[in-house]
Structure 1
Amino acid sequence: MRFIPTYIVSQQAEARKAHRPREGRHKRPAPENPRQYKYVKILRVILHTIGGWPGEALGEHVPFIIKFIRKYCCAQAVALFVGQMYYLYEKNEVLDFLTKGHCYITCALCVTTIIRTSILSFKKYGEIVKTFIMTFNLGHHQHKGEYYKQMHMTIYKISHYFTLYSVIMMLFGMWLFNLTSVYENIRNGAFSRNRGPDTKLELTIYFSYPGFDPLARFNFVTILNLYLAYNCGIAICVLDLFLSLMAFQIIGHILILRNNFKILPKPAQIMFDAEENENVHKKIVECVQYHREIVSFAEELSSFFGPVLGFNYAFQLVSLCLLLLESSHGHQALVRFGPMTFIIFGQLITLSVTFEVIGTVSEKLKDSVYDIEWECMDTRNRRIVCILLHRVQTPLHVTAMGLTPVGVTTMAAILRTTFSYFAFLRSMSE
């Protein structure tokens, strides 16, 4: 029997162990069904609380309570807006400048909530979400090639972390906006049984109706304000998050299309032969169809969400002026209104920059098309490339109401106007 030294046996064992595939060495890839993605699950759970997940369009069973909540949230926002306007009418003579500004901010948030919750009942909303989840998502295209899979994983990670960031910031701003008034009420003894008639009571949302005084039911209205603020945060922040996720997918598809132009076959000799022309023809036709799908989805977003984005710009202009004005009046006001100011600024910048990237990457499509070896093709293929080159001359933009492109230029104009109005209102308040 041949003797094998011990140290050699141990080295062989270590070598086998090193080459043995270990469980969990590689990260688990994203599921092929986009409805199983973590960020989509987070969206589904949160939107269910206001009936905003279009389960009917996706073939899911939707309980009656979810359908009721969808209608109820919109009706609730309308009723709340009426109550806020009645409160301003009733208390107009006794409210100070800062309290009026606070009421105007909550009225603007309420109107935005009405618009956002009303679109949830539109059939077109469900169709767009269905297209985004069932066909347009990059998860359905990752099997087409290595670059498809690579781009899908990149967009998947960006979407996941951006969703977590947006939800955390929404909850942080919402609770801090409410808890500031709750803290002041606790410090003033507002929740004490021995509360005096002169105790100062603060509410996050001021509203009243004929025969209903919110201060007479202070404890109930304080809890109700938390619920109303939550619905408002979901309607504004999460739907903007949904739009950003769709924009990420558009960016990913455009980058893939540019890569498809880059990897088109080169001629073996000076010119393509008949077989090569036929092969190139098929690939160019696929690129034309792919570009048409991207443009079609972007146009659907513009046509349906365009009015929402247009009003969103108007809301940000008005609310940011008032929030800056309120935040400039002392430390307490800054603690209360600062987080909301930061969140709305963040929404304006994030959404504008995201859609600006769509225009930037799509603008480079014309260079990618022109770099194709079109001079080596036959007449049929040259004609197709010429038509395609004409189509990609105009960068792809999502527009607000079909007029204003959603992007950095519009954002800069809004910020300039915001600070101008803020300086004017600040001088008036002094």
Structure 2
Amino acid sequence: MDVFDSRYMKNIRFTLRSIGAWPSHVFEDLPTTKLSAISRYGYTCLLFTFCSTGMVAQAVYLVKNKGTMPFIDLGQTYLTLLMSFAFVQRTTMPIQPSYQALIKEFVSKFHLLHHKDKTDFSAKMFSKVNRMCEIGTIVELLQFGVSASMFNIAPLALNYSRGMLSSERPMNVTFEYSVYYALPVDQNTGVWYIVICMYNAYVSYNLGCMFLCHDLQISVFVFHIWGHMNIFEHNLNYFPRPRKAVGSKSDPLRYSNEESKEVTMGLKEIIKHYIMIKDFVAKTSDVYSVTLCVYYGLHLVADCVLLLECSTLEIDALAKYGLLTLVMYQQLIQVSVVFELISSKGESLPDAVYGLPWECMDNGNRRTVLILLQIVQQSLALKACGMVSVGLQTMLAILKTSFSYFLMLKTFANN
């Protein structure tokens, strides 16, 4: 069985390939040529160029119309500009060697498929994590399809209701767009309206994929880390105790010499497993460190802007931003809860290590258990910029701050 036989891995690979974010070349033994860099990163660089150009056009539009647009209407351009900034940051990830190495290590070594045959519990945990990943994939893809569609369909419906799509358009009425740009053309003509709408739909697909599919990929990593930690804890809880001699009525107080050798090998396997988990968590944290920082920073500002847009309670605003607001908040909560799995599971590991029958071991194995106990007491949480642990506490802090900023901006808008 191959890792890519599972549907969720196929979906992740397909969606990330469509935006140039899947490092296919690390799984292929192809000769390196002068054109290798173009074939590997050409589409990624193209997306980076498109989005950077769009950011400049949005920024120019914002500067030109800042004094004439209503305060709340400015939120739309602010929102798309912030999301474009986060998109640009994520487009650089496939070029990073550490990102490519992380994907390869996960697929070739860390995925629970490679460990499911070791014990019956490992097989059960593999099946459980697979179901979690399948459900998470379905939820993310549905969110992506619905939110990206509504973001572009709402302006189209508004233009239709105003008669802008008819042969005789009303006077002094301009087209409504999902994203506005400062362009050296007349954007109120039918031809340019079609061109800009197609570009916005294309950008919406890429941006939605870059956000939700990368979040899905991180979630899959976390689910497998959580599965490995459960297997590690199970191996500790069911570590073999000293065997009874034939006919003995009481449990032996110490391992025999032969059993001590088996204990040494068992502890060695447990430590190797934990080091593998810890090493993968560290690599994941390093790769996504800046991404998580930008991601939570985006939520801090964008969630506030989305609330401000929806607070008008106008049909047009709710149609365009209502579902997007729900998706953004749901995504923040979902990702934070997933990250919390690692932190909460890591808190129970020291107790499991201390529960080992160390009192029955010889001095050498006791020292090994003591070292293991010291290692597992170190935090395994993923960190943004290597400083802030991500999880429920981070989520609550962002939600509180976003609501505070929203109330403040709403007061300014009313005045």
- Normalising to structure 2: TM-score of the pair? 0.93
The structural deviation recorded for 1:60 is 7.1
Instruction: Work out the CA distance in 1 between the residues paired with 2:139 and 2:320.
Output: 21
Structure possessing the higher radius of gyration over alpha carbons: 1
CA distance in 1, matches of 2:40, 2:206: 14
CA contact (8 A) 1:148 1:256 kept: yes
Counterpart of 1:392 (choices 376, 381, 385) is 376
Please say if residues 317 and 417 of structure 1, whose CA atoms lie closer than 8 Å, have aligned partners that are also in contact. Answer: yes
- Cα distance per residue 1:4-39 (max 9 Å; x no partner): xxxxxxxxxxxxxxxxxxxxxxxxxxxx31122100
Q: Which residue of 1 aligns with 2:187?
A: 214
Distance 2:288 2:66 in 1: 36
Q: Which runs of 5+ in 1 are unaligned?
A: 1-31
What is aligned with 2:10?
Answer: 41
Structure 2 distance, partners of 1:351, 1:306, is 15
Residues 151-206 of structure 1: CA deviation (Å, up to 9, x unaligned) = 00000011011101101111101101111111001111222222244223100010
Indicate which of 289, 303, 309 corresponds to 2:286.
303
* TM alignment of 1:52-67, pairs within 5 A: 52-59=21-28, 67=41
After superposition, give the CA deviation of every residue in 1:217-271 in whole Å (9 maximum; x if it has no partner). 1121112111111111011111011101100000000000001111211012111
CA distance in structure 1 between the aligned counterparts of 2:200 and 2:389, rounded to whole angstroms: 36
Alpha-carbon distance in 2 for matches of 1:60, 1:407? 38
Which of 151, 154, 171 is the matching residue for 1:177?
151
2:218 aligned partner: 243
Q: Which residue of 2 aligns with 1:351?
A: 335
Amino acid at match of 1:382: R
Look up the match of 1:9. Answer: none
Q: Does 1:422 align with 2:399?
A: no
Please give the alpha-carbon distance, in whole angstroms, between the structure 2 residues aligned to 1:60 and 1:331: 56
Q: 2:103 pairs with 126, 129, 132, which one?
A: 129
Distance in structure 2 (CA, Å) of the matches to 1:70 and 1:229: 16
How far, CA to CA, are the matches of 1:174 and 1:136 in structure 2?
Answer: 33
Q: 1:56 to 1:167 in 2, by over 3 A?
A: same
Decide which of 340, 361, 386 is 1:402's aligned counterpart. Answer: 386
Deviations 1:125-144 (A, max 9, x none): 11111111111000011111
Alignment match, 1:265: 240
How far, CA to CA, are the matches of 2:149 and 2:13 in structure 1? 21
Contact 1:327 1:338 in 2 (8 A): yes
Deviation of residue 64 (structure 1)? Answer: 6.5
1:189-200 matched pairs, under 5 angstroms: 189-200=163-174
Let me know the Cα RMSD of the aligned residues.
1.5
Q: How does the TM-score come out when normalised to structure 1? A: 0.90
CA distance in 2, matches of 1:65, 1:165: 32
Q: Is the 8 A contact 2:113 2:126 kept in 1?
A: yes
Superposition deviation, residue 92 in structure 1: 2.2
Deviates more, 1:59-68 or 1:353-362: 59-68
Q: Secondary structure of 2:259's partner?
A: helix
* Alignment partners' CA distance in 2, 1:420 and 1:284: 51
1:65, CA displacement in angstroms? 6.3
- 2:44 alignment partner in structure 1: 70
> Structure 1 residues 131-140 or 84-93, which shifts more?
84-93
Partner of 2:209: 234
Question: 2: CA distance between counterparts of 1:67 and 1:413?
Answer: 37
Please give the alpha-carbon distance, in whole angstroms, between the structure 2 residues aligned to 1:65 and 1:324: 42
Equivalent residue, structure 2, for 1:112: 86
Report the identity percentage: 29
- Displacement of 1:66 after TM fit? 6.7
Deviation of 1:391 (Å)? 0.7
SS at match of 2:92: helix
Residues 385/315 of structure 1: CA separation in 2 closer, same or farther (3 Å cut): same
Equivalent residue for 2:249?
none
Does the 8 Å CA contact 1:80/1:207 hold for their aligned counterparts?
A: yes
Match of 2:199 among 199, 216, 224: 224
Structure 2 Cα separation of the partners of residues 165 and 63 of structure 1? 34
* In structure 1, distance between residues paired with 2:226 and 2:186: 51
Matches within 5 A, 1:311-322: 311-322=294-305
5+ residue gaps, structure 2, are: 31-35, 244-251
Per-residue deviation, 1:302: 1.0
Aligned residues: 398
1:345-397: per-residue Cα shift (whole Å, max 9, x none)?
Answer: 11111111111110111111101100000010001100000000011112311
Confirm or deny: 8 A CA contact 2:155 2:176 kept in the other structure. yes
Instruction: Quote how far apart the aligned CAs of 1:421 are.
Output: 0.6
Distance 2:266 2:186 in 1: 69
Corresponding residue number in structure 2 for 1:139: 113
1-structure distance, mates of 2:112, 2:142:
25
Q: Which residue of 2 aligns with 1:166?
A: 140
Aligned residue identity for 1:161: I
Pick from 258, 280, 291 the counterpart of residue 263 of structure 2: 280
Q: Find 1:335's aligned residue among 297, 319, 324.
A: 319
Name the CA distance, whole Å, in 2 between partners of 1:229 and 1:330.
Answer: 24
For the 8 Å contact 1:106–1:205, the answer to whether it is kept is: yes
